[in-house]
Amino acid sequence: MYSFEFEKPSTIADAVAALGGEDAQALGGGQTLIPTLKQRLAAPTKLVSVSGIAEMKGVCVEDDGSVAIGGATTHATVAREAAGSYPALAALAGQIGDPAVRNRGTIGGSIANNDPAACYPAAVLGSGATIVTNARQIAADDFFEGMFGTALDEGEIITSVRFPVPQAASYQKFLQPASRFALVGAYVARFASGVRVAITGASEDGVFRWSEAEAALDKEFRPDALMGLKINPMNMIGDLHGSKDYRAHLVSVMTKRAVEACM
Amino acid sequence: MTQVSMTVNGKAVSGDVEGRTLLSSFLRDHLALTGTHVGCDTAQCGACVVHVNGEAVKSCNMLALEAEGAEVGTIEGQAAEDGTLNTIQQAFQDHHGLQCGFCTPGMVMSAAALLKENPRPSEAEIRKYLEGNLCRCTGYHNIVKAIMAASGQDVTSIAAE
Ligand SMILES: Cc1cc2nc3c(=O)[nH]c(=O)nc-3n(C[C@H](O)[C@H](O)[C@H](O)COP(=O)(O)OP(=O)(O)OC[C@H]3O[C@@H](n4cnc5c(N)ncnc54)[C@H](O)[C@@H]3O)c2cc1C
Ligand code: FES
Ligand code: FES
């Protein structure tokens, strides 16, 4: 790692001020950022830890029934504390990495990073969540901008994520056993207003909504409604873990399993 | 350099570290607590697992300054002062839960965190919990057996697959 200064403010306002300096970067749980720094793929002059900011931690149910999760809340806390209010989301958080990773890694860090194989982006996009930052609110549909890209500005921090709670939802992850990320993951959420299907792990463009599947499931919410629906392998990721065709096939299989789990 | 202070195995400690100093380096290089092993240094293997405020974390993937004021527990704090092994350590010895022993500090610390959360885990729960702890020697069966035994359960049914 190149050397950097370290700051750990206790309020959002102080963190935003500290991030104002040139080449300052937010530090969540460090589960992605520290390995990145070790590889010298990033060289911030200052890291601003958000882990000491109490107002960015915890899970709560809002008046309108949505579940709000502080940006610095760990995966382990979400797995425990959202189990009653949004079970599919809690189950997803409980499947990220391993226990030690879940004790440090945060929802804000995961979403800001937008790894193409990460789990949370599927839940955020699949639920139609709202990303709340120190400056504004961003709809999930406008937030993810391709592999590792997001709508966040320099120095902008995710302070919380608000999830509307669907009637039924399920995340089905096909594990890449070496990395423990998703080789392909499908998040299906059924709302009174319609079905949302978000796919992670599969596309060169990162997480995406599978609109053909959504339309088919809107007509008829059962696994067979997806029969014959195939995704174009052209834009899929092809690597030593799975070819483009294999990933395209998994998209159908995992989506179908997610629908089955919602029944 | 910044001063960092924390409690390690019940003792107050402090030292001067850089922003980039890892918790694993602070423990090993500053405090000479070399029981915490660094296997991969990339958050994959779990050899470096310690407890921070009671939770298992990979110390190679946490900055020392993030542990300011924390209660840290390492493998050195597991046995009694006179060297008597605790229940988990003794079970690892009794059930041959180690060969080279490199992964063992992390295994024992993860096992302790598991048993605190879930005092009588099933075999499947143990295997699931140890997903982030790699062992290149034992094939895991005897580690699982040791943890079952440490939680007071019958281990005769756990045969090698
Ligand atoms: C062994 C291992 C297995 C893993 N398995 C999985 C898995 O199965 N599924 C999965 O989804 N992920 C997995 N991860 C990644 C893990 O979930 C990370 O915790 C997560 O991707 C990053 O979160 P973090 O809090 O650690 O962020 P950091 O690593 O601290 O930061 C990541 C990025 O986000 C930025 N950032 C951090 N917090 C904020 C914030 N509040 N606002 C704005 N920007 C912020 C940082 O500046 C940095 O650019 C795994 C990681 C490891 C090491
Ligand atoms: S040394 Fe920390 S996980 Fe391998
Ligand atoms: S005993 Fe050798 S790595 Fe586990």
What's the B100 CA to ligand 3 centre distance in angstroms?
Answer: 5
Percent of chain A at pLDDT exceeding 70: 100
What pLDDT score was predicted for residue B156? 78
With the C-alpha atoms ordered A241, A246, A252, A257, is the resulting torsion angle positive or negative? negative
Residues A50, A116: one domain?
yes
Residues A29, A157: one domain?
yes
On whether residue B155 sits in a domain, the answer given is no
Percent of chain B at pLDDT exceeding 70: 97
What pLDDT score was predicted for residue B161? 47
Last residue of a domain, one of A129, A163, A197: A163
Residues A140, A197: one domain?
no
Residues A124, A24: one domain?
yes
Last residue of a domain, one of A128, A163, A198: A163
The domain that holds A204 is classified in CATH as 3.30.390.50
On whether residue B122 sits in a domain, the answer given is yes
What are the structure tokens assigned to A55, written together?
């107002």
A103 touches chain B (CB under 8 A): yes
Could you give the ipTM of this predicted complex? 0.96
* B42/A100 Cβ within 8 A: no
Q: Are strands B55-58 and B49-52 parallel, antiparallel or unpaired?
A: antiparallel
* B68/A104 Cβ within 8 A: no
A48 DSSP β-pair partners? A7, A26
CA distances from A117 to A120, A175, A245, B132 (A): 9, 10, 17, 18
Give the integer Cα–Cα distance in Å for B149 and A237. Answer: 44
Last residue of a domain, one of A105, A139, A163: A163
Dump the DSSP string for A24-83: EEEESS-TTHHHHHHTTS---SEEEE-TT-GGG--EEE-TTS-EEEETT-BHHHHHHHTT
Closest CA to A256 of A233, A218, A215, A224: A224
The residue segments making up the domain with residue B110 are: 87-150
The alpha carbon of residue B80 is apart from the nearest alpha carbon of chain A, in Å, by 25
Q: What is the pLDDT of residues A101-120, one digit of tens each?
A: 999 999 999 999 999 999 99
Give the integer Cα–Cα distance in Å for B93 and B105. Answer: 13
On whether residue B159 sits in a domain, the answer given is no
Helix (H, G, I), strand (E, B) or coil at A197: strand
| Number of other CB atoms surrounding residue A176 within 10 Å | 17
Interacting residues of B47 by C-beta distance below 8 A, sequence separation 6+: B36, B37, B38, B39, B40, B102, B103, B105, B106, B133, B134
Q: How high does pLDDT run on average in chain A?
A: 97
Interacting residues of A141 by C-beta distance below 8 A, sequence separation 6+: A125, A128, A209
Last residue of a domain, one of B76, B102, B133: B76
What are the structure tokens assigned to B73, written together?
């527990």
The residue segments making up the domain with residue A199 are: 168-262
The maximal CA–CA distance of chain A, rounded, in angstroms, is 56
What are the structure tokens assigned to A185, written together?
């993951």
C-alpha radius of gyration, chain B, whole number: 16
Residues B45, B91: one domain?
no
Q: What phi and psi values does residue A183 have, to the nearest 5 degrees? A: -70, -45
Residue B159, pLDDT above cutoff 70: no
The domain that holds B11 is classified in CATH as 3.10.20.30
Q: Are strands B2-8 and B71-73 parallel, antiparallel or unpaired?
A: parallel
- Compute the count of residue pairs across chains A and B with CB atoms less than 8 Å apart: 74
Q: How many domains does chain A have?
A: 2
| Number of other CB atoms surrounding residue A62 within 10 Å | 11
Q: Which residues of B touch A175 (CB under 8 A)?
A: none
pTM of the model: 0.97
Helix (H, G, I), strand (E, B) or coil at A115: coil
Q: What is the pLDDT of residues B1-33, one digit of tens each?
A: 999 999 999 999 999 999 999 999 999 999 999
What are the structure tokens assigned to B8, written together?
């390690």
* B113/A99 Cβ within 8 A: yes
What pLDDT score was predicted for residue B32? 98
On whether residue B158 sits in a domain, the answer given is no
Q: How many domains does chain B have?
A: 2
